[in-house]
A and B are shown apart, each in its own frame.
Chain A
Amino acid sequence: MPRGNDAGPMGVGPGMIISIASGKGGTGKTTIAVNLALVLAENKKYKIHFLDCDVEEPNGHLFLKPVIQNKESVKVPIPKIDYLKCNLCGKCGQVCVFNAIAVTKEKVIVFPEICHGCGACTLLCPEKAITEEGREIGILEEGRTDSISFIHGRLNIGEPIAVPIIKEIKRKAMKRYRCRLQEGSKAEGQEIILIDAPPGTSCPVIEAVKGSDYTVLVTEPTPFGLHDLVLAVEVLEKLRIPHGVVLNRCNIGDSGVEQYCRKHNIPILLSIPHDREIAAAYSRGIPMVSIDSGYKHKFSRLFENIVQYAIYPNNKQ
């Protein structure tokens, strides 16, 4: 997601993209993203766009409960063979590195689920016998709450490749966001895009966090949390995205994560103790800022920290 010169971190430009990620699953990404969104949305100065990019298992809507206004299909291009032109030369099968096309003596077999839609077969067919048709791999839904605009995607059951849906969510948000930026003074507030990323360190995560001004890594103070945090930090270093840590359930486990963060000069932006009441509220889809107003202040502080570190990423501590 390329950003123009007109956009930049808060304070130096009119908006900001913050992604919330983690190596390990279930550490509280969605919790942090949702509570941050709710707290920021109370301030009229900001316009909040929530993008749930965990399209394999999207959960943000369970907490934000947006009214969905628009639903569309996300399609990827797959090859369609014109047998009037095809002479079964086999070129398409040779060039497809994903093994999504096989050419037999009688016909060309396409395996749509593993096609990456690169277009190599179509462009390189000597007989121009291949055109493309769209194949649905999931859906994208747009909606809003009272104060937050919301987009999420949903990968269809049985589909392996999530990346095109994440791309489409971000493309849509960016288009809207850029429009607003160009309207200039008409946009009352500063635009903040919050991205709830999927777990892991591979392609869907990269696609979700790419182009962020700042990434918040949510982890827990256990050996699992630490191990996967180290991997996630490597990803962000590779992508050159400034990042900090939210330590969730900070009163269970050990001090490994804190030691690691101190040693590598990674700021701990917020620590949240495990609290059975909060966990029970979470299980019912109730965000912690709604049950304990003390958290409103904490999440405001979290945002101030993010802004600070996003602007001065080299001055970590």
Chain B
Amino acid sequence: MKEIVIISGKGGTGKTVITASFAVLAKNKVLGDCDVDASNLDLLLHPKVKEKHDFYAGLVPILDIDKCTDCGLCREVCRYDAISTINNRTTIDLISCEGCGLCAHICPEAAIQMQKNRCGEWFISETRYGPLVHARLGIAEENSGILVTLVRQNAQRVAQEENLDLIITDGPPGIGCPLIATLTGANLAVIVTEPTLAGIHDLERVVKVTQHFGVKAVSIINKFDLNLENSDQISHWCDKNKVEVIGKIHFDNVIAEALVKGLPVVEYSKNRVTEEIKDIWQRLEKLINIK
């Protein structure tokens, strides 16, 4: 089984638009959406949810105000400034709380209990293009890395059960926890970049992350004609750093038009962007050695 992840470092470079088109072009695959903060793949693939599961992770403190003597010990030990005294009463701010549980351990009155936290949900769905495993992290919740791992594990399980040999995953932006959870152990990272200074800066950082975790990376320069000089610079940098540029895509309004229609761009109309994405997919197939 092969696992391809589409990542970018910088947000908004076109990860999801490209992933959705790969979903149309690829055969025998499971799709995963690991951008659990702000997942968008479902807006193009229109999944029918088959299974829905609650996601529990981490703990939240529940304060028993009858037992609490407002001694302030919990406030003193909390490193996240999550506990304060308001009108002489101890109050816990669950948004600042990271759920470490130190307050519960240290409370002399045992007035704080740590409770399991439901912080999101995840789904196994059916789409016209194959199964999709996706998730939604609750607003202002933590533990995105754990939820990403859950999405990947289930995508792998579905692939095994249905005898599919490929997983295509839409990744999150950035280089932190959710990205690392998406990347580690994948067979290939496809980095979507754009020829802007910010795009180049963020590409360099995300490539270093792929190297750090030993995942082979290739890149796609999206909107390459926006700045040809920068696109050349990206190509040179990629050559030097052994990241093959597997394709370039024109800047074209057709992408926004397809998005508004809720369609992967390769299904929307015949246009140059569609041809470019098809070429890229053919190269990718060869690269990961699938039929």
User: Which residues of A pack against B, CB within 8 Å?
Assistant: 23-27, 30, 56-57, 59, 62-63, 95, 97-98, 116-120, 123-124, 155, 157-162, 198-204, 206, 210, 222-224, 227-228, 231, 234-235, 238-239, 249, 252-254, 276, 279-280, 282-285
A95 touches B105 (CB 8 A): yes
A97 touches B105 (CB 8 A): no
Q: Please pick, from A30, A160, A223, A235, the residue contacting B198 in the complex, using a CB distance under 8 A.
A: A30
Closest 5 CB pairs of A and B: A25-B11, A26-B12, A118-B100, A160-B177, A56-B174
User: Which residues of B pack against A, CB within 8 Å?
Assistant: 8-13, 16, 37-38, 40, 43, 58-59, 77, 79-80, 95-96, 98-102, 105-106, 114, 137, 139-142, 144-145, 172-181, 194-199, 201-202, 205, 208-209, 212-213, 226-227, 230, 251, 253, 256, 259-260, 262
A223 touches B79 (CB 8 A): no
Nearest CB of chain A from residue B73's CB, rounded to whole Å = 11
Chain B residue at smallest Cβ distance from A226: B43
Q: Which residues of A contact B172 (CB under 8 A)?
A: 200
A238 touches B100 (CB 8 A): no
Given A24-B38, A199-B38, A238-B139; A119-B102 close (CB under 8 Å):
yes
B174 touches A57 (CB 8 A): yes
23 contacts between A and B (CB under 8 A): A24-B12, A24-B38, A25-B12, A25-B38, A27-B11, A59-B198, A62-B201, A63-B197, A97-B99, A118-B102, A123-B77, A124-B102, A157-B212, A158-B209, A199-B38, A200-B38, A202-B141, A206-B140, A222-B259, A234-B139, A253-B256, A283-B194, A284-B230
B12 touches A202 (CB 8 A): no
Q: Which residues of A contact B142 (CB under 8 A)?
A: 202-203
Q: Which residues of B contact A162 (CB under 8 A)?
A: 174, 176-177
Bound complex: CA A124 to CA B106 (Å): 8
Q: Please pick, from B43, B197, B208, the residue contacting A223 in the complex, using a CB distance under 8 A.
A: B43
Q: Please pick, from B173, B174, B205, B256, the residue contacting A222 in the complex, using a CB distance under 8 A.
A: B256
Given A24-B38, A57-B174; A118-B98 close (CB under 8 Å):
yes
Chain A residue at smallest Cβ distance from B180: A160
Given A97-B58, A206-B140, A253-B260; A231-B38 close (CB under 8 Å):
yes
A57 touches B173 (CB 8 A): yes
Given A57-B201, A202-B140, A231-B38; A157-B209 close (CB under 8 Å):
yes
Nearest CB of chain A from residue B188's CB, rounded to whole Å = 19
Nearest CB of chain A from residue B199's CB, rounded to whole Å = 8
Chain A residue at smallest Cβ distance from B253: A252
B9 touches A57 (CB 8 A): yes
Q: Which residues of B contact A118 (CB under 8 A)?
A: 79-80, 98, 100, 102
Question: Which of B9, B227, B230, B256 is the most central at the interface, judged by chain A CB atoms within 10 Å of its CB?
Answer: B256
B175 touches A155 (CB 8 A): yes
Given A25-B12, A222-B259, A239-B95; A57-B43 close (CB under 8 Å):
no
Bound complex: CA A200 to CA B38 (Å): 6
Nearest CB of chain B from residue A131's CB, rounded to whole Å = 16
Q: Which residues of A contact B37 (CB under 8 A)?
A: 23, 199-202, 231
Q: Which residues of B contact A279 (CB under 8 A)?
A: 226, 251
- A-B contacts counted at CB < 8 A amount to 184
Q: Please pick, from A62, A201, A210, A224, the residue contacting B259 in the complex, using a CB distance under 8 A.
A: A224
B101 touches A228 (CB 8 A): no
B140 touches A201 (CB 8 A): yes
B227 touches A201 (CB 8 A): no
Bound complex: CA A273 to CA B172 (Å): 27
B195 touches A157 (CB 8 A): no
Q: Which residues of A contact B114 (CB under 8 A)?
A: 97
Q: Which residues of A contact B227 (CB under 8 A)?
A: 280, 283-284
Q: Please pick, from B38, B177, B262, the residue contacting A161 in the complex, using a CB distance under 8 A.
A: B177
Bound complex: CA A116 to CA B82 (Å): 14
Nearest CB of chain B from residue A255's CB, rounded to whole Å = 10
Bound complex: CA A199 to CA B12 (Å): 10
Q: Which residues of B contact A123 (CB under 8 A)?
A: 77, 102, 106
Q: Which residues of B contact A25 (CB under 8 A)?
A: 8, 10-12, 38, 173
Q: Which residues of B contact A203 (CB under 8 A)?
A: 140, 142, 144
Q: Please pick, from B13, B105, B256, the residue contacting A120 in the complex, using a CB distance under 8 A.
A: B105
Bound complex: CA A200 to CA B194 (Å): 20
Q: Which residues of A contact B13 (CB under 8 A)?
A: 26
For the A-B complex with A57-B175, A59-B201, A223-B259 known, give 14 more contacts whose Cβ atoms are closer than 8 Å: A25-B12, A26-B173, A56-B205, A57-B9, A62-B198, A157-B175, A158-B209, A200-B38, A210-B95, A227-B38, A227-B40, A249-B256, A253-B259, A283-B199
A227 touches B43 (CB 8 A): yes
Chain B residue at smallest Cβ distance from A22: B11
A119 touches B79 (CB 8 A): yes
Nearest CB of chain A from residue B255's CB, rounded to whole Å = 9
Nearest CB of chain A from residue B225's CB, rounded to whole Å = 10
